[in-house]
Structure 1
């Protein structure tokens, strides 16, 4: 499959589950994704092969291929992680070595994608013989196409029939919901239109019916997802946004000037003036949007201090019955902190450097490496005796107290050195865009939890100011997203969710998982030669991700917003990626 003819989608054998309906087996949502992957791979290969034959190998073609391949790689990463961390683990009790066998294939596919991007980089830099390099690119694309298509066919023949046999329709729906909640919102809104563009009208209707089974009874959220599925490209600019916008936001700009390319045109056009008039005319008491960040900082510090206080109580009373609940809450806050750190790295710091023009602004990480290492060590522990738990709680208190001191200094720096110049230089509309874009980068499940948690402790005046800002909307942000956030804030402020209920929900949602920190553990351990003993891939994921002796199909196991490993190569700054093993 080197530089020869491209294999078309229909050239591949039809799997035994072809013709099964999504409404009868919601787990086939992943097979619908397979169809999109096959079609996109075939299209990319055909475009590249035709260009090679005609000799029309220009920079514009290479950039377009790069955009499409980056998007495809991103959605493949999430798809593979969902299979590794959810689907295969669910089958672990039924079939041995499923996790290790298929995960190793996923790793091999990822490695071959890296070769493709190496060739693309050389072509973009025009470093060498373009014709020869393009032939090498074409060969690499063919290799990846063959690997992925063979891998997917094997899954459709071996894995999905077993899932349909062992799990009910409701249980399958919950597995798909886990996946959806683990993907950044901004990528979901691009993935669904892209996937459904490769489906027939009947398959699209089947997917719409299936969404009613997959998504919980939340009207606005369901409407948002349905709008993604029904979206149809109306112009070339729509196609441009399909490939790469989410990738660029999630990866962050490669230079300080790249952030300007990510700004929507409305921010610099008449839309900004129109919205400014709306702000002045409709509400004179609406606060500057960035003021909400100070409330955010207060909430983070208060939550960590409360967790430390509870840990002190557990340590002094020598009663560990509530420890698991506190650990789950801490994992949630740890993920929120790492999300915030990555938002600073990928959105706000590059903007600040752009505003500083020729000079680089001094920016420091929100969380020091030593604090992340401490949390990583503390949050992934096996069941221990009471004596060991006492030592563990003492260690955790020390780690957290150190983290809170460091975080306090970082927040003071942000409030005195970072946000004032942004507030002075950016209009309220631009500030809103920055805030909404930052929230867009969060995984759906974490976003919903975070909004509920943050809103619960707001005063009436604070919540009213935030809700008024949300009602005004933002020209460059989809109104359905702001409406969804508005509803979640309103519910959080209403007091309908008590602290006890929220903690219970966190236990069900996280179920011992921390998707950012656990991914770092997974990357370090999953394929380590030292740990790859008999069935070790399964053991590693159980100890790091699941913390349960078996994967039972309970609500606690299935309704997980963000299983570890779902955010591959996305929400980690270089600090977290390069962190040495413990």
Structure 2
């Protein structure tokens, strides 16, 4: 596909990576990042001084920190703006699914800066102990921000920078740098570049200037950027002082450009008068120039009212339209940016000037303080509105039931923001603007308006100017533009022409059609947008649809403020091509409208209906609900670390050691839980996402998060180890403070990580995975989780759930493990998870249903499907049941199947069917006897259930056998039996006789013993009969190295590893699930991890030769190439006379050599005996 260049623009092929100059993108991802890190280091040193400084010095340091963190926040805003608006959309066009997590991190980092600003202001107002406590909180918040920013920068350099270098030519990178400059407020561009120039080599600056200027097609914009990048641009700062929204004190001493200190700042009125003296004489006019502030206020009010109307339409329609929701997200981001920079200009220009003119008016001073507080409230309202929009978007994508409630909260939040901002603007128009209009002349007002415009970035002004001007009459627009021309200095002539050109776009016929919509996003960045859209350089074909995915297999888009760049990408329509185009969708596809949102290759699926219709819970939801408990415990850990530090600060004696042990225990438990969760994501969840063609690269950023977070846990572990080993109280205090800061940083890092997963990854499962696929995924995850881990994790997770969430999670686990014995294990070990009897309440019906299901499950064990391969060859078993009962009763000595009643009652449905067929084919049985046995066989489940309801029989039980010593190895004096080494015997619950193990019982009796029903044992050392336990209650001796309290299995054999599988509900050989073994939910069998990915799931549960039930067999068996299973000893005998599977008649091995020998014999007819030489087949 040929590349398309705009007229007047150079061909990007002329500036490829073949040149020897450094990549232009290094200006952003190397020099800019290093500057931020250097500033963070400098701030860390200042904060360290603050914590130990006396109160008089602390106040000065707080003022310094307030200014410098304001500077850092502004720098961070420029960094995130260019990435969200330019870099990420461009990169998504070439490499899909790599940037969504970073956008969420940007929002979280902005919230952290907001919290830090509030803490700094609070600390300045307080004194004494209150200030000291706030400084401790401030210290933790600083650690949160620094850790989060460093983590974010490292991730970008590890993932995004290599992709930009690989997929973007030098010309394309230069375009991105030019867009970066357009994302900085006009008043701060020169100061920002002066801050960076000392770090960038002179030669690289010159090469960058040449490359950037070569890719800008617009002459006015080119002239402006040339001025910015010229080496003498810094002199402007020295001549006129630091401009609006940028102060020299904001820059750290380490990075401040080497220039003379700026002169003492004059008052604002003096500065305005000085600048107005350079303006030409103005003609009389009817409206004061500050009327332009009212124009902007009216546009913001109108857009917010339209936003509320659109938000209410989401709720009124009864379903969430993804296109409408995406449009709201885009509109909120633009309005938030406009309000942010407008508030900054008011704080730096309007309010200080009004306060200066009303110095003696107490009412006016109080009004201005009230306006300042309202600014903080408006910022918080807009941030909360953005978070709610993202939550609604994520919930609607995954069809969550919370979507309806969140939409209601969204409407309330939008209404509150509209009301608060409208009232605030009305107060300013009544109490602030009249004061300024009274004391400032027309020229001074024009200067103030001009400086207010320069407080916005160029890219934002390209959309704001036509939006505001389009609402004005021709006379009002002309007057506004004339005021700009008069106020701007001669060096800003190109900028004035750009602004006037953009303002005139608001009166074009296309813009007139948008006037009634009050939507500023309709206007795009045609001048400040990229001249060469990335999609034209690297076209991508739309992925083919997958039949295995659900109807929701769509990917909602990561939203970027300048998503018009993505409109040129190929999209796969979500509707029938024959249908008439949706006007909203048409606007999304038109790059000239500015309405396009950053879409992924698949269009968003229709959102859920939430009026009168229940929303189904997806199985994967409960894996992500782990995050709820993780957040809770992270905050508890941080709180306990803070309490421990506060205790040490106020104490002169050594604290109780139990406090540190408790803190360390909570940390290690949390670390283990987090590690299990992250390993499950890395090994199972992320590969499943990457297996979908449309989701390639979606999980790489989260894998990097896991690596960085694991390092955070290790660092905390080291600090705890030092606290445990130190003998100095002063050192312990220092370590406690360090621990509190690190716990806060770890909590912040994990919170942004899980929020990104919930917003971006969680919805993908509802869109790209069927319910069955999700259940399979959940089965694989918990199939690698051991019984001990589940036993500790499930109560921990469900402890933060409501009753409905808890029941939904248990139901989901039951569904994912329906072929296993997991429910019986759950009933045995996790009683608190099941709803307990409560007084009558609305949820009582659900509890009764739950209890009924539990009782039925206890009476009738769930069906078990085929056992999976526990060994891959006949050499040696990798896995066999260490406590599994042998089904030897299925085969008598003469080979005829004659089952006893105990066997019949213990069979599951599949075994019953197999037994019935064999019994029907047994010609040795009399017809009457056969009919009687078949009738009893089919009614066995009912008979067993009735026996359990009626309770134990009153028939006198036989007396127990006398206790005697038995040996596993008599020569070595090891107690036990031929099956197990142990120092205890079991009391059979069925006949009350004493045997060393259940196998000994089954061999001696005419019935079988249920291992799970065993309750009592007899110690072979002292002969005491007691409840089953690991140790003897009388002689206190350890009875075995391994003891399972569920199977009541004792095993004292040295070197043998045994674990209890909660899904088999049996003890098996191996180190444990997730270590070397895993459980397949389809096969209902444990297998080695190396075999899991290669095995074939089968539903057969019996050996096809001896028909023994393989699931609980203690004999080794192997998998055939066709996927069926057979006992190893059966295979050895069967392969002597047959080479095909008795079930599917496929070869049981590699028959190549065997067939070759036959072919060689057949090809030599002369060597055959005479009677066979002429025979054919």
TM-score range, shorter chain: 0.5 to 0.7
Q: Confirm or deny: 8 A CA contact 1:224 1:480 kept in the other structure.
A: yes
What does residue 378 of structure 1 align with? 388
Alignment of 1:25-104 (within 5 A): 25-30=23-28, 33=31, 77=76
TM superposition shift of 1:226 = 0.9
* Aligned with 1:278 (options 254, 276, 281): 281
TM superposition shift of 1:349 = 1.4
For residues 269 and 208 of structure 2, the distance between their equivalents in structure 1, rounded to whole angstroms, comes to: 31
What does residue 336 of structure 1 align with? 338
The 1:452/1:35 distance shift into structure 2, 3 A limit, reads same
Q: What is the number of residues matched between the two proteins?
A: 451
1:512 is the counterpart of 2:559: yes
TM superposition shift of 1:422 = 0.6
- Structure 1 residues not aligned, in runs of 5+: 1-16, 45-64, 122-143, 253-257, 516-524, 550-582
Alignment of 1:294-443 (within 5 A): 294-319=294-319, 320=321, 321-358=323-360, 359=362, 360-363=365-368, 364=370, 365-366=374-375, 368=377, 371-372=381-382, 374-381=384-391, 382-384=394-396, 385=399, 388-443=402-457
TM superposition shift of 1:482 = 2.8
SS, match of residue 478 in structure 1: helix
What does residue 268 of structure 1 align with? 273
1:186 is the counterpart of 2:191: no
Q: From the two aligned structures, give the one with the greater helix fraction.
A: 1
* Aligned with 1:467 (options 448, 467, 481): 481
For residues 29 and 171 of structure 1, the distance between their equivalents in structure 2, rounded to whole angstroms, comes to: 14
The 1:402/1:198 distance shift into structure 2, 3 A limit, reads closer
TM superposition shift of 1:298 = 1.9
TM superposition shift of 1:227 = 1.0
TM superposition shift of 1:414 = 1.1
The 1:372/1:198 distance shift into structure 2, 3 A limit, reads closer
Query: For each residue in 1:425-474, what CA deviation from the matched residue of structure 2 results, as whole angstroms up to 9, or x when unmatched?
Result: 01122212222222222233323222232222222122111122122233
For residues 328 and 201 of structure 2, the distance between their equivalents in structure 1, rounded to whole angstroms, comes to: 48
Q: Confirm or deny: 8 A CA contact 1:304 1:404 kept in the other structure.
A: yes
Q: Confirm or deny: 8 A CA contact 1:473 1:482 kept in the other structure.
A: no
The 1:174/1:411 distance shift into structure 2, 3 A limit, reads same
For residues 415 and 338 of structure 1, the distance between their equivalents in structure 2, rounded to whole angstroms, comes to: 18
SS, match of residue 442 in structure 1: coil
Q: Confirm or deny: 8 A CA contact 2:182 2:457 kept in the other structure.
A: yes
For residues 314 and 152 of structure 1, the distance between their equivalents in structure 2, rounded to whole angstroms, comes to: 37
Query: For each residue in 1:216-240, what CA deviation from the matched residue of structure 2 results, as whole angstroms up to 9, or x when unmatched?
Result: x4332221111111251696x7547
For residues 334 and 102 of structure 2, the distance between their equivalents in structure 1, rounded to whole angstroms, comes to: 26
Q: Confirm or deny: 8 A CA contact 1:296 1:454 kept in the other structure.
A: yes
For residues 407 and 246 of structure 1, the distance between their equivalents in structure 2, rounded to whole angstroms, comes to: 21
The 1:480/1:337 distance shift into structure 2, 3 A limit, reads same
TM superposition shift of 1:387 = 5.9
TM superposition shift of 1:306 = 1.9
Q: Confirm or deny: 8 A CA contact 2:467 2:523 kept in the other structure.
A: no
What does residue 210 of structure 2 align with? 209
Moved more, 155-164 or 380-389: 155-164
Query: For each residue in 1:314-341, what CA deviation from the matched residue of structure 2 results, as whole angstroms up to 9, or x when unmatched?
Result: 4333351422212321332233233333
SS, match of residue 232 in structure 1: helix
Q: Confirm or deny: 8 A CA contact 1:35 1:198 kept in the other structure.
A: no
SS, match of residue 457 in structure 1: coil
The 1:83/1:159 distance shift into structure 2, 3 A limit, reads farther
For residues 183 and 285 of structure 1, the distance between their equivalents in structure 2, rounded to whole angstroms, comes to: 33
Which structure is richer in relative contact order (CA contacts within 8 A, separation 6 or more)?
1
What does residue 569 of structure 1 align with? none
Query: For each residue in 1:142-165, what CA deviation from the matched residue of structure 2 results, as whole angstroms up to 9, or x when unmatched?
Result: xx9xxx9xx999998997555312
The 1:366/1:88 distance shift into structure 2, 3 A limit, reads closer
Query: For each residue in 1:102-156, what CA deviation from the matched residue of structure 2 results, as whole angstroms up to 9, or x when unmatched?
Result: 99xx99xx9xxx9xx9xxx9xxxxxxxxxxxxxxxxxxxxxx9xxx9xx999998
The 1:344/1:502 distance shift into structure 2, 3 A limit, reads closer
Q: Confirm or deny: 8 A CA contact 1:378 1:392 kept in the other structure.
A: yes
Query: For each residue in 1:497-546, what CA deviation from the matched residue of structure 2 results, as whole angstroms up to 9, or x when unmatched?
Result: 4639964667999963579xxxxxxxxx99x9569965355554576799
TM-score between both structures, scaled by the size of structure 1:
0.60
Q: Confirm or deny: 8 A CA contact 2:183 2:457 kept in the other structure.
A: yes
TM superposition shift of 1:289 = 0.9
For residues 482 and 94 of structure 1, the distance between their equivalents in structure 2, rounded to whole angstroms, comes to: 39
The 1:490/1:193 distance shift into structure 2, 3 A limit, reads farther
Q: Confirm or deny: 8 A CA contact 1:470 1:482 kept in the other structure.
A: yes
Query: For each residue in 1:472-502, what CA deviation from the matched residue of structure 2 results, as whole angstroms up to 9, or x when unmatched?
Result: 2334983333333222212233345463996
TM-score between both structures, scaled by the size of structure 2:
0.32
What does residue 232 of structure 1 align with? 232
Moved more, 377-386 or 301-310: 377-386
Q: Confirm or deny: 8 A CA contact 2:186 2:455 kept in the other structure.
A: yes
Query: For each residue in 1:381-422, what CA deviation from the matched residue of structure 2 results, as whole angstroms up to 9, or x when unmatched?
Result: 214128654443333222222332333322221111111011
- Structure 2 residues not aligned, in runs of 5+: 1-16, 43-63, 125-145, 252-262, 530-556, 563-629, 636-669, 679-704, 706-749, 765-1177
For residues 520 and 761 of structure 2, the distance between their equivalents in structure 1, rounded to whole angstroms, comes to: 21
For residues 310 and 354 of structure 2, the distance between their equivalents in structure 1, rounded to whole angstroms, comes to: 38
For residues 97 and 426 of structure 2, the distance between their equivalents in structure 1, rounded to whole angstroms, comes to: 52
Query: For each residue in 1:149-202, what CA deviation from the matched residue of structure 2 results, as whole angstroms up to 9, or x when unmatched?
Result: xx9999989975553124444653564355334322222233335545776665
The 1:368/1:437 distance shift into structure 2, 3 A limit, reads same
Query: For each residue in 1:265-321, what CA deviation from the matched residue of structure 2 results, as whole angstroms up to 9, or x when unmatched?
Result: 66334x63563x6212xxx34631111222222222221222222333343333514
For residues 231 and 297 of structure 2, the distance between their equivalents in structure 1, rounded to whole angstroms, comes to: 37
For residues 547 and 351 of structure 1, the distance between their equivalents in structure 2, rounded to whole angstroms, comes to: 50
* Aligned with 1:455 (options 459, 465, 469): 469
What does residue 247 of structure 1 align with? 246
What does residue 288 of structure 2 align with? 288
The 1:176/1:205 distance shift into structure 2, 3 A limit, reads closer
The 1:425/1:204 distance shift into structure 2, 3 A limit, reads same
Q: Compare CA radii of gyration and give the structure with the larger one.
A: 2
The 1:316/1:406 distance shift into structure 2, 3 A limit, reads same
Q: Confirm or deny: 8 A CA contact 1:181 1:444 kept in the other structure.
A: yes
Q: Confirm or deny: 8 A CA contact 2:183 2:459 kept in the other structure.
A: yes
SS, match of residue 512 in structure 1: coil
SS, match of residue 232 in structure 2: coil
Moved more, 416-425 or 325-334: 325-334
Q: Confirm or deny: 8 A CA contact 1:193 1:229 kept in the other structure.
A: no
The 1:314/1:213 distance shift into structure 2, 3 A limit, reads farther
TM superposition shift of 1:32 = 7.5
SS, match of residue 247 in structure 1: coil
The 1:312/1:245 distance shift into structure 2, 3 A limit, reads closer
For residues 34 and 238 of structure 2, the distance between their equivalents in structure 1, rounded to whole angstroms, comes to: 15
For residues 403 and 490 of structure 2, the distance between their equivalents in structure 1, rounded to whole angstroms, comes to: 50
For residues 418 and 82 of structure 1, the distance between their equivalents in structure 2, rounded to whole angstroms, comes to: 31
TM superposition shift of 1:26 = 3.0
SS, match of residue 318 in structure 1: coil
